[in-house]
Structure 1
């Protein structure tokens, strides 16, 4: 049974111990603008110490049986679940999301760790004849670094910890400078279940990421974030030929066919487009609606969005919180400035100055902007989505694929044969039919084109933390 954690103080965790740094910093509550607690600003010496501890721990952890690793991970998941209320409150405080979404994030993190604990990459016999036998096995890489973004800090940390640890690797978590608190506590909790050095965390400023990606010690970088930063991570990791998994941005299309039940489909579209105030890499970013149902669909979507309640995540009934940080707030406001400049038609919303503290932006629908406008071609990562009309299947598939991104997509129709025909032509790593944002815990998830390299989740995700080794046996 896990002991209690102090959710008011926050430290690095190096080699099983809570450590402090000379310099500290803090982020702010994005709903109120108030300062949160101080956290460490890690130095190159801290990085060296964490990498050395992880390398030492790897020597024994990599030889630990799968059953023992599974047992530790399952106990760890139980402990996170036991502290669910505290993690939920901390997510609301630092990330800004409503309680309901924070609760979902905790549940998803726990489920992810449990699912990965049950997976195992067993040796595979590739060939077995009287003359020879070929076996493929998978061996852990060594020290992994998990670079976690600010939109789902707990869930995405869990998505990296689970597969790394179950395959025998050790891992250093680097949280976003905007959301370090939840990750610090979840790694501190891990010390009760794993040997020192197996799971560590370093918090810091913008200099910490490059220190880790350039360090010769780690063998693997798992990065979730923007495509722009992902390219920098890949370039940095290439200097020492580190393995990389990059889960990057998206500009997900949703193709709505003319036969849908509008009242049934619209709430799902509204949820998947505006969840976490649009700050989700695989949220719906472009809505392609058949022109024959455009007005009815648009009006229903407007009604659904007007029912949202914007505010502090701790307030009763709040469905959508603020933009998480000032940098992203300014990026989204810059896109909103295009509304008047380009004379886009606003179906609902449009305001970025709501006269209240925090980084709040009104959920907004842009009705039929030009297909080449910024709101269609760029990922906003905020609460704004365009509706574009179509009437030709081949053309809408072409427009849906007309992006450098390729993370997710969805097709909505009662005709499942038609849906699958369209889905198979979409250039995205995950395509849903009649839903969006509902991945299977056993499936591997990754992007096409500039949305990423490699996979997370399922057996494919485990392989990303391993070397494949083929053993060839010549029989006498």
Structure 2
């Protein structure tokens, strides 16, 4: 595996990127989920490749960790410059591999978020904290680098979430070995290549491989911390595999976020924000709105307003500039969504929009689907669908809505929708979730810590608190 920096800093299109990340021979075929066409060939790195990457990252960490926060921040800002210089090429490759359209809150948005998060992470101040300084002495709290951080990313926001992981790890003086999802390796390999045009050699390695590579990374004794975004089941496996080395973990796991609409809202005024809270990235977002609880007094009005927005949103091939919704990224996810919607139909739920995927067409397109008059114990409500199908459940009292929202063993995010912000804050405080938004959903900010409650994981990302989770606390007393 090469560790040398490339001198090329600007890539003009996806083909330009593919030319430098595809293997000279062999490789795994990565297909476009919208068209079924070949996107490119991904290198199949092995466990020995991983070992080489970890060895190189470990050797480079002391010098990287010895730099000041300001020096490392300068490198992150340079990496952001490199991303912006090649933004259109990165977005094109991302759209073709992941399926998300270029426009809307999709591919170009994701690449822009990579640069924004790099810059934001570089800007945070983390000075030693004086715990006390009096006649008894002085104590200071410092944060030291951990060593080599292993990052394992998902396929839904492959570039952005990789940046969420690597940026704070590097800023805190750690080096990083990153394993992308097997569904979207090209995007992350390309991002890593672009970043490495602006970073010192060997502080960032991207290793594309099968599950055995990820398993070795999670258990490796030379990895000080694992950052993982993905399913709760895989997160549990990582917890078990980390036990022998007592490595640190940040886990952002499954969501199934609830939204509660109070009876005082204007349905038309909130409809578009509700829609994007649920259907951003075609519903393939950990913290997207996945079950909506609406008061009986305005239930039909909210369902109708949402259906109007849903019908107006074009879905299709991502590189077509007119589309804002794309396919499911893979066949397995398509089948999950289709089976859950069918379970809702079988249980007597009302399909307001969608629910009728075309057969015999290329691509994993499932139509934007709203499901009304559905029971709260239906699988479409209780299981995370991770796709463009939103169940809308009717409630009578706020207590009932809060009880249903808290009824699952996950708690990544939630939202409350009301014209009375004081009332909304009261309801929000009762919801068991790591983030609760009012009159919006899923709008993460690099300055605000983000993490899950209950089985949605532990540890936080973003902001100064996120930086602290990438450092070893050390108290010096004298």
Q: TM-score, normalised by structure 2?
A: 0.95
Question: Contact 2:82–2:197 (CA<8 Å) still a contact in 1?
Answer: no
Q: Determine the C-alpha separation between the residues in 2 that align with 1:260 and 1:79.
A: 44
Match of 2:276 in 1: 271
Please state if 1:186 is matched with 2:186. no
Aligned to 1:424: 429
- Aligned position for 2:306: 301
Out of 7, 10, 18, the position equivalent to 1:4 is 10
Instruction: Give the match's secondary structure for 2:324.
Output: coil
Partner of 2:4: none
What residue in structure 2 maps to residue 66 of structure 1? 69
Q: SS state of the match for residue 235, structure 1?
A: helix
Tell me how far 1:10 sits from its aligned partner.
Answer: 5.1
**2:78 is the alignment partner of 1:78:** no
* Mapped contact 2:81–2:115 kept (Cα < 8 A): yes
Query: Which residue of 143, 146, 149 corresponds with 2:151?
Result: 146
Deviation at 1:195, TM superposition (A): 1.8
Change (3 A) 1:258 1:230: same
The CA distance in 1 between the partners of 2:397 and 2:9, in whole Å, is 60
Query: 2:223 aligned with 1:213, yes or no?
Result: no
1:239: Cα distance to partner? 2.2
Consecutive unaligned residues of structure 2, counting only runs of 5 or more, are 1-6
Count of matched residue positions in the alignment of Structure 1 and Structure 2: 466
- Which residue number in structure 1 is paired with residue 112 of structure 2? 107
The correspondence for 1:98, drawn from 91, 97, 101, is: 101
In the alignment, the residues of structure 2 paired with residue 364 and residue 217 of structure 1 have an alpha-carbon distance, to the nearest angstrom, of 46
Does the 8 Å contact 1:430/1:445 carry over to 2? yes
CA distance in 1, matches of 2:143, 2:238: 25
Of the three residues 435, 443, 452, the one matched with 1:438 is 443
How many angstroms does 1:178 deviate by? 0.6
Distance, in Å, in 2 between the alignment partners of 1:127 and 1:47 is 44
Q: Is 1:57 matched up with 2:60?
A: yes
Match of 1:15 in 2: none
Q: Match for residue 420 of structure 2?
A: 415
**Over the residues paired in the alignment, what is the CA RMSD in angstroms?**
1.5
Which deviations, in whole Å up to 9, do the C-alpha atoms of 1:296-342 show, x marking residues without a partner?
11111111111121110112321210000112122222213313422
Q: Do the aligned partners of 1:407 and 1:446 also contact (CA within 8 Å) in 2? A: yes
Q: 1:130 aligns with which of 130, 135, 141?
A: 135
**Deviation per residue, 1:389-439 (Å, 9 max, x gap):** 112111111111111110111111111110110001110111111111222
**Matching residue within 445, 452, 460 for 1:455:** 460
Post-superposition shift, 1:354? 4.4
Aligned to 1:17: none
Q: CA deviation digits over 1:57-91, x for unaligned, max 9?
A: 00100101111111111011011011111111011
Tell me the secondary structure at the aligned position of residue 270 of structure 1. Answer: helix
What's 2:164 paired with? 159
Q: CA deviation at 1:136?
A: 0.8
Once the two structures are TM-superposed, the CA of residue 35 in structure 1 deviates from its matched residue by 2.0
1:393 match: 398
What SS does structure 2 have at the residue aligned with 1:36?
Answer: strand
Partner SS state of residue 260, structure 1 = coil
Tell me the SS of whatever aligns to 1:347.
strand
What per-residue deviation string (whole Å, max 9, x for no partner) do you get for residues 204-261 of structure 1? 1222210211211110100011111111111112221111100111111111111112
Structure 1 moving runs of 4+ over 6 Å:
none
- Aligned partner of 2:381 in structure 1 is 376
| Aligned-residue offset at 1:23 | 5.6
Looking at structure 1, the residues matched to 352 and 439 of structure 2 have their Cα atoms a distance apart, in angstroms, of: 24
Question: Whole-Å Cα distance in 1 between the matches of residues 439 and 351 of structure 2?
Answer: 26
Whether contact under 8 Å (1:10, 1:38) holds in the other structure is no
TM-score by structure 1 length? Answer: 0.95
Partner of 2:291: 286
1:41–1:204: 8 Å Cα contact kept in structure 2?
yes
Secondary structure of the equivalent of 1:435?
Answer: coil
| C-alpha separation in 2, matches of 1:169 and 1:394 | 46
The 2-side partners of 1:197 and 1:442 are apart by 28
Post-superposition shift, 1:187? 1.0
SS across alignment from 2:461: coil
**Residues of 1 paired with 2:345 and 2:446: CA distance?**
43
Residue in structure 1 matched with residue 231 of structure 2 by the alignment: 226
Aligned residue for 1:369, secondary structure, equals coil
Mapped to 1, the partners of 2:21 and 2:8 lie a distance apart of: 19
Q: How many angstroms does 1:36 deviate by?
A: 2.1
Structure 1 unaligned segments of length 5 or more: list them: 13-19
1:10, 1:39 within 8 Å by CA — same for their partners in 2? no
2:32 is the counterpart of 1:29: yes
- Write the deviation string for residues 173-194 of structure 1: whole angstroms up to 9, x where unpaired: 1111110112111111222222
For 2:222 and 2:111, locate their aligned partners in 1 and report how far apart those are by CA, in whole Å.
31
